[in-house]
Amino acid sequence: MTLMKHELRQGRISFAVWTGAIAALLVICLLVFPEMKGEMETVSHLFAAMGSFAAAFGMDRLNFGSLTGFYAIECGNVIGLGGAFFAALAGVSILSKEEGEGTAEFLLAHPVSRARVVTEKLAAVLLQIAAMNLIVLVASLLSICAIGEAIPWRELLLMHFACFLLQIELAAVCFGISAFLRRGGFGVGLGIATVLYFLNLISNMSEKLKFLKYVTPFGYCEGADIIANGGLDARLVMIGMLFAALGVAAAYRNYCCKDIL
Amino acid sequence: MDAIRIDNLTKYYGASRRRTRGIEQVSLTVAQGEFCGFIGPNGAGKSTTIRTLLGLIRPTEGSVQVLGLDIGKDREKILAQTGYLPSEVMFYPGMRVRDVLKLSADLRRKDCRREAAALCERLQLDDSRKVRELSFGNRKKAAIVCALQHEPELLILDEPTSGLDPLMQREFFEILREKNRAGTTVFLSSHVLSEVQRNCTRAAVIREGRIIACDSVEALSHSSAKRVTVRGQIRTDSLDGVRDLQEVPEGCSFLYSGGMKELLAVLASGEVHDLSISEPDLEEIFMHFYSRKH
């Protein structure tokens, strides 16, 4: 576990900044909810009339005036997008940075197998993601208590769980890509997270492009669907986890036999 | 048992059509307890050979055995007994020297604090400093401690003295000699020939990815080429085996690897006021190997 602890220490500032930023934005959103609650009754009708733009964000199917509706849109986007960026960046750089920063030679001259390097680095990424989600969830629950609203346990936990799975999938796919890169790859990570986010928006806007939900993990994070169905779309989740498994397998396969230049 | 045994090692980089040569048909053995130099200019294939020894890159052809084990199958066992000093030292940002040394020891699952402290003292390295604040020379010292603190059986050192001041170089080689006397095998790559000549018992010369000479330093220095310096006038154009012909005050100097009879005939027919025929130093041998057309 030496390498995992080392990675957690190396990534502690990035972890603190992303977790702090996401939790703070979430708390701010929730703290302003009571003020916006009254106005949202009319705004919800307005959103419903905005056609495909509102559909893109699932606003046509949610009541912005209720905590669950508000949480699914405002907070869902903060956790979904913020968490996706964090997960993608953590995954895409963790293997490639060693070669980019010239530390691979130092690390791999020690008696550690490449498979152990991959395993411990993957564990560090997953642990960071789990810790971030736990902190954000606690911040969210405390904020809801602070504004005096009842906690919609089932919907809230499902939305957080969906975001956690999304981050796992993105981190695993980016982790696989990281094994093929020789430099940090921050642009690749941000690019993948952004493209997948927009693919989900596009799939919400057009019936013909609904199939894109099978590609993007944001598809099973759609707050409107989770609230309406009372659960996650198991088929989309399974496809997502398959992508994640492929990413991890690619990382092991390539990193264990690549030349360290 | 040989500490290092390389047989017909070939490494090409890149895809098959655009591949570039790293090394070709390199064969080399280093006996246990030996202090062996590996000489060659930049790009000759020294680092490729060393990286293959450590399992950082996979050979295209050939085999590598280190401490009697195959690098492809027993990489971790080999590295547990090997200390490596890279030519370009890079550490993780934000760490202190002591954290780097501890990380290195932890990755080896060994407590190396006593040896690390002793080495830091000898090399005058402050282990409380952050690695990003260190000069190149001090980073090199930290890497030396990392390579030595676990008291390995084999030391592989890639251009070890670059960045070290002369006093530190002397202390470093003193440490290496002590380790070598205690049984550690030292394999050291360098293009500073004088340090190979002073410290190594044997040396291999690599040129354009191929080993072109491998012998004891003494034998290499006594190769057939002699440095001939003449004060006076002679005609060298009839001689075969003249290289590195230079004009010196009132005469000429050249490396000669032809027959002595022919040389004596040319000297006798010329006007010679003073003559010196000496063994060339390793630097000249090196140039001799590198200027030779194959």
Claim to verify: residue B158 and residue B273 sit in the same structural domain: no
A259 contacts in chain B (CB < 8 Å):
13, 56-58
In this complex, the residue of A2, A105, A110 whose CB is nearest that of residue B86 is A105
Name the more confident of B62 and A54.
B62
Residue B145 domain flag: yes
List the domain range (segments joined by +) for residue B231.
226-278
Question: Is residue B42 predicted with pLDDT exceeding 90?
Answer: no
Give the pLDDT confidence score for residue A47 in this predicted structure.
67
Claim to verify: residue B168 and residue B239 sit in the same structural domain: no
Determine the average pLDDT of the residues in B179-203.
Answer: 90
Claim to verify: residue B185 and residue B200 sit in the same structural domain: yes
Are residues A106 and B107, on separate chains, in Cβ contact within 8 Å? no
Give the pLDDT confidence score for residue B240 in this predicted structure.
86
pLDDT band for position B293 (cuts 50, 70, 90): very low
Residues in chain B whose Cβ is within 8 Å of chain A:
13, 51, 54-58, 75-80, 82, 84, 86, 88-94, 103-104, 106-108, 143, 146
Distance between CA atoms of residues A232 and A219, nearest Å: 10
Neighbours of B236 (CB within 10 A): 15
Give the pLDDT confidence score for residue B291 in this predicted structure.
62
pLDDT band for position B287 (cuts 50, 70, 90): low
Determine the average pLDDT of the residues in B99-125.
Answer: 96
Claim to verify: residue B214 and residue B230 sit in the same structural domain: no
Distance between CA atoms of residues B278 and B290, nearest Å: 20
Residue B67 domain flag: no
Strand order in the sheet with B61-66: B20-31, B2-13, B61-66, B69-70
A100 contacts in chain B (CB < 8 Å):
none
Determine the average pLDDT of the residues in B116-130.
Answer: 95
Strand order in the sheet with B210-216: B82-85, B154-158, B185-190, B35-39, B202-207, B210-216
Residue B25 domain flag: no
Distance between CA atoms of residues A123 and A5, nearest Å: 10
Q: Does A102 touch chain B (CB under 8 A)?
A: yes
Distance between CA atoms of residues B91 and B143, nearest Å: 9
Claim to verify: residue B267 and residue B155 sit in the same structural domain: no
Distance between CA atoms of residues B268 and B252, nearest Å: 15
Claim to verify: residue B46 and residue B179 sit in the same structural domain: yes
Claim to verify: residue B210 and residue B234 sit in the same structural domain: no
Give the pLDDT confidence score for residue B226 in this predicted structure.
81
The amino acid occupying position A152 is: P
Distance between CA atoms of residues A224 and A209, nearest Å: 18
The per-residue pLDDT for range A4-52, each reduced to its tens digit, is: 999 999 999 999 999 999 999 999 999 988 887 777 666 666 666 666 6
Neighbours of A176 (CB within 10 A): 25
Q: Does A1 touch chain B (CB under 8 A)?
A: no
Residue B7 domain flag: no
Give the pLDDT confidence score for residue B225 in this predicted structure.
75
Are residues A3 and B107, on separate chains, in Cβ contact within 8 Å? yes
Q: Does A108 touch chain B (CB under 8 A)?
A: yes
Claim to verify: residue B201 and residue B233 sit in the same structural domain: no
Query: From A100, which residue of chain B is nearest by alpha-carbon distance?
Result: B90
Query: Could you tell me the CATH number of the domain that includes residue B216?
Result: 3.40.50.300
Give the ranges where B149-191 is alpha helix by DSSP (H).
Answer: 166-181
Please list the ranges in chain A whose pLDDT falls under 50: none
Residue B167 domain flag: yes
Residue B122 domain flag: yes
Q: For residue B256, what are the contacts with CB-CB under 8 A and spacing of at least 6? A: B225, B226, B227, B228, B239, B241, B242, B243, B263
B102 contacts in chain A (CB < 8 Å):
none
CB A82 within 8 A of CB A21: yes
Count of structural domains, chain B: 2
A91: which 2 tokens?
A: 């995954």
pLDDT band for position B173 (cuts 50, 70, 90): very high
Claim to verify: residue B216 and residue B241 sit in the same structural domain: no
DSSP state of A151: P
Claim to verify: residue B101 and residue B160 sit in the same structural domain: yes
Residue B117 domain flag: yes
Give the pLDDT confidence score for residue B294 in this predicted structure.
43
Claim to verify: residue B192 and residue B139 sit in the same structural domain: yes
The rounded percent of chain B whose pLDDT value lies above 90 is 65
Question: Is residue B82 predicted with pLDDT exceeding 60?
Answer: yes
In this complex, the residue of B56, B78, B93 whose CB is nearest that of residue A105 is B56
Supply the pTM of this predicted model.
0.86
